[in-house]
Amino acid sequence: MPTFVYMTRCDGCGHCVDICPSDIMHIDKKYRRALNIEPNMCWECYSCVKACPHQAIDVRGYADFAPLGHSVRVIRDEEKGTIAWKIKFRDGREKNFLSPITTKPWGSAIPDFRNEAEPSAEMRNSELLAFEPESIRLDDGGLHTLKSNGLKLKEGVYY
């Protein structure tokens, strides 16, 4: 069930692009709106649907799996900290589910690695990392940082 974007609701914020695990949500360069560039590769994880603050992304059901007349809508309310699922069945019945987005306070589950100590040489040379790539083992002796690699974190994106 691939995703599609309501172009009139999308403002091109890019939340869906940042969260898509299969990297198929992109921003159209001409219209500055999100689009699914490869619908057949969609994992149907609903990450982009849940991440969209404007409810601009929906999921199209396959005709043999979900006959005409059904819908699954997701509405996220960050102020209340809830996510609502509205499911409309083919026969017209509707079910609504309301769940907390997280059970922990916002930001409390995101570790701050900036204050962590650098791994020791003994830890880096451990046999546990023997078959890992050099970038993980840090064979050059130093600790790689985002700055040393010319990278930076995007504000508002949790990694």
- Residues 57-74 have pLDDT tens digits of 988 766 665 666 777 788
Q: Residue 30 is which amino acid?
A: K
Same domain, 128 and 95: no
Higher pLDDT residue, 92 or 104?
92
Domain of residue 50, residue span: 3-100
Question: Given this model, what pLDDT does residue 33 score?
Answer: 94
The Cα–Cα gap between 7 and 15 comes to 15
- Residue 57 within any structural domain of the chain: yes
Answer yes or no: do 21 and 70 share one domain: yes
Residue 138 in this model has a pLDDT that exceeds 60? no
The pLDDT value recorded for residue 142 is 62
Q: In what order do the strands lie in the sheet with 94-100?
A: 71-77, 82-88, 94-100
Q: What is the pTM of this model?
A: 0.57
**pLDDT exceeds cutoff 60 at 24:** yes
Tell me what the mean pLDDT of segment 126-134 comes to.
67
**What gap in Å lies between CA 14 and CA 134, rounded to an integer?**
32
CA–CA dist 35, 20 (Å, integer):
12
Q: What is the per-residue pLDDT for 109?
A: 72
pLDDT value for 71:
75
Same domain, 29 and 85: yes
**In terms of domains, do 66 and 135 share one?**
no
Residue 124, in any domain of the structure: yes
Residue 8 has pLDDT above 90, yes or no: yes
Least confident range of 14-23, 30-39, 147-156: 147-156
Show Cβ contacts of residue 2 under 8 Å, excluding neighbours closer than 6 positions. 36, 39, 40, 42, 44, 59, 60
68 and 28 belong to one structural domain: yes
Is 128 or 42 the better-scoring residue by pLDDT?
A: 42
Residue 12 has pLDDT above 70, yes or no: yes
Q: Is 136 found in the same domain as 72?
A: no
Say what the pLDDT of residue 150 is.
Answer: 77
Annotated active-site positions, please? 43
CATH number of the domain encompassing residue 46: 3.30.70.20
> Is residue 73 a contact partner of residue 58, using CB atoms and an 8 Å limit?
yes
Question: Is 106 domain-assigned?
Answer: no
User: Which of 61, 77, 100 is a domain's end point?
Assistant: 100
User: What value does the mean pLDDT of the chain take?
Assistant: 79
